[in-house]
């Protein structure tokens, strides 16, 4: 009997030490996980992740190319005001019958039998009507004088498109920065949840081993062991899910950064963002309406459509061009050695009736203008809602951080009390399992609240259009 008591006391001491070890190991779990991951890959900070994204992200690179294309569009619109110079070259080959008919008068003039009737001066000025192989070069210059406003409208379209492409580039830059921050923070959160799952698994394993030893000395029933075996299986399942989610988050981060999906990374924990949001929702909304690049995209889209209306309206206006042509008479050689001719003309085209096509085109562009203005109004309302949602999420996440911290303290205290009561036989293993689950859930809630706070900050900066500025 004395021996049994001594064995039971030894098991209780062992159980108490195991619980204390599990509670102490939980605090250092995140650091251990970070060390394990850091030995496998390259160390990376959030700033370095954003820098890598800005260098490699394909979506951002495509937006940059679009901005360059729009800049060339503006240059082209200016160049359309300049004259157009073209060099023309024509080669013609004729059949013998056509050649004979075309040169009938030339052959008649140069027939020796007719020399008595035609003076030599007339014969010298007569040229062949055609050649079997003829070459005719020419140079033409066309200078627009009045285009009915189409050139001006095309320039306005190009300039507005350039503004829109620059705003789209900034919009894309802020979006990929936000995606990088979000992916980075979600990866850190997944890593901490893996550490928490490892803690829960180790604690369940220790409870099971201790209870098995207590069963051997008759201090616990078989169902107590079975309950901890179920708890261990649940912990193993949660650990597998957490590890899988961590791998997915790492791949998602690599994708955003534009690097190989299998690249191993070690992430530096984020304590806080240095960016501080304006205090009031009104200030946040005012900044968003001034600086959000998406709103600039919408405004420039309206400008593009206004210019498109101008292009459609130019279809009702006359067009005046100055045309100059300089050519060499076609002959049978490549050289510019034949007679030279030039002409200067001013041409005017006045639309009179084209089956109402210009009218229909104008009405189409005007209705499209009304449409994009409505879309701009809707975007403004959506942006205001986005800012409000981000602001409320940030406030709620801040409150949740304090609540979750208190919940962890209370859950740990509850676990300590339940564990002590279990050691002296006042409570069952079910109470311990429930207390362990509550403690793990409280710690998971604290992790969720902290990273939700960080992401909410990034969301608000993104909604205000100041992320990365």
pLDDT at 216: 82
Sign of CA dihedral 73, 74, 75, 81: positive
Could you read off the pLDDT of 108-159 as tens digits, one per residue?
A: 877 777 665 667 777 777 778 888 898 889 999 999 999 999 999 999 999 9
pLDDT at 393: 95
DSSP for 14-70 reads HHHHHHHHHHHHHHTHHHHHHHHHHTTSEEE-HHHHHHHHHHH-HHHHHHHHHHHHH
Could you read off the pLDDT of 313-372 as tens digits, one per residue?
A: 999 999 999 999 999 888 888 888 778 899 999 999 998 888 888 999 999 999 999 999
Q: Are 427 and 418 in contact (CB under 8 A)?
A: yes
Q: Give percent helix, percent strand, percent coil of the chain, each to the nearest 5.
A: 70, 10, 20
Q: pTM for the full model?
A: 0.77
pLDDT at 117: 64
pLDDT at 131: 85
N- to C-terminal Cα separation, the chain: 76
- Pairing relation of β-strands 133-146 and 84-93? antiparallel
Superfamily for the 2-82+149-316+356-464 domain: Outer membrane efflux proteins (OEP) (1.20.1600.10)
pLDDT at 130: 86
- Residue 265 DSSP code: E
pLDDT at 3: 38
The Cα 341–Cα 326 span in angstroms is: 6
Nearest CA to 5 out of 225, 217, 208 is that of 217
Q: Are 400 and 453 in contact (CB under 8 A)?
A: yes
DSSP for 287-324 reads HHHHH-HHHHHHHHHHHHHHHHHHHHHGGGS-EEEEEE
- 10-residue mean pLDDT profile of the chain (469 residues): values are 35 36 39 38 84 94 96 96 92 90 83 69 78 90 92 95 96 96 96 94 85 78 83 92 96 94 89 82 96 96 96 92 90 81 92 88 95 97 96 95 94 90 77 88 95 94 92
pLDDT at 272: 73
Q: If you search the block for the tokens 């939980």, which residue do you land on?
A: 26
Q: Are 184 and 49 in contact (CB under 8 A)?
A: yes
pLDDT at 436: 87
């Amino acid at each position: 009997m004395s021996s049994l008591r001594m064995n039971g006391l030894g098991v209780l001491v062992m159980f108490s030490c195991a619980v204390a070890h599990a509670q102490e190991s939980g605090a250092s779990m995140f650091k251990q996980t970070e060390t394990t991951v850091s030995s496998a890959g390259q160390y990376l900070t959030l700033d370095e992740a954003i820098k890598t994204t800005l260098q490699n992200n394909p979506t951002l690179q495509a937006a940059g190319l679009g901005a360059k294309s729009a800049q060339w569009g503006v240059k082209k619109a200016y160049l359309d005001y300049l004259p157009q110079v073209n060099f023309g070259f024509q080669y013609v080959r004729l059949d013998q019958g056509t050649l004979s008919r075309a040169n009938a008068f030339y052959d008649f003039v140069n027939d020796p039998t007719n020399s008595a009737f035609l003076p030599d001066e007339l014969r010298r000025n007569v040229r062949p009507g055609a050649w079997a192989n003829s070459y005719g070069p020419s140079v033409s210059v066309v200078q627009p004088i009045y285009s009915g406003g189409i050139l001006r409208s095309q320039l306005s379209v190009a300039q507005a498109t350039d503004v829109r492409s620059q705003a789209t580039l900034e919009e894309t830059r802020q979006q990929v920065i936000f995606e990088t921050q979000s992916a980075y923070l979600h990866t850190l959160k997944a890593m901490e949840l893996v550490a928490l799952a490892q803690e829960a698994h180790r604690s369940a394993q220790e409870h099971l081993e201790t209870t098995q030893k207590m069963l051997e000395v008759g201090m616990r029933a078989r169902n107590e062991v079975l309950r901890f075996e179920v708890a261990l299986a649940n912990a193993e399942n949660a650990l597998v899910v957490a590890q899988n989610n961590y791998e997915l988050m790492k791949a998602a981060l690599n994708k955003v950064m534009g690097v190989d999906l299998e690249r191993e990374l070690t992430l530096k924990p984020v304590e806080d963002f240095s960016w501080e949001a304006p205090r009031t929702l009104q200030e946040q909304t005012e900044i968003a309406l001034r600086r959000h690049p998406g709103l600039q995209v919408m405004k420039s889209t309206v400008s593009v459509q206004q210019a498109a209306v101008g292009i459609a309206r130019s279809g009702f206006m006359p067009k005046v061009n100055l045309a100059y042509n300089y050519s060499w008479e076609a002959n049978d050689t490549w050289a510019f050695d034949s007679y030279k001719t030039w002409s200067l003309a001013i041409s005017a085209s006045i639309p009179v009736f084209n089956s109402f096509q210009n009218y229909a085109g104008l009405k189409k562009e005007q209705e499209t203008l009304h449409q994009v203005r409505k879309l701009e109004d809707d975007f403004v309302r959506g942006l205001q809602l986005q800012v409000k949602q981000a602001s409320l999420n940030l406030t709620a996440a801040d409150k949740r951080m304090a609540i979750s911290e208190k919940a962890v303290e209370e859950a740990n205290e509850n676990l300590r009390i339940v564990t002590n009561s279990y050691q002296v036989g006042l409570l069952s293993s079910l109470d311990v399992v429930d207390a362990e689950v509550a403690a793990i859930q409280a710690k998971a809630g604290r992790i969720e609240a902290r990273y939700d706070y960080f992401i909410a900050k990034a969301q608000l900066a993104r909604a205000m259009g100041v992320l990365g500025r």
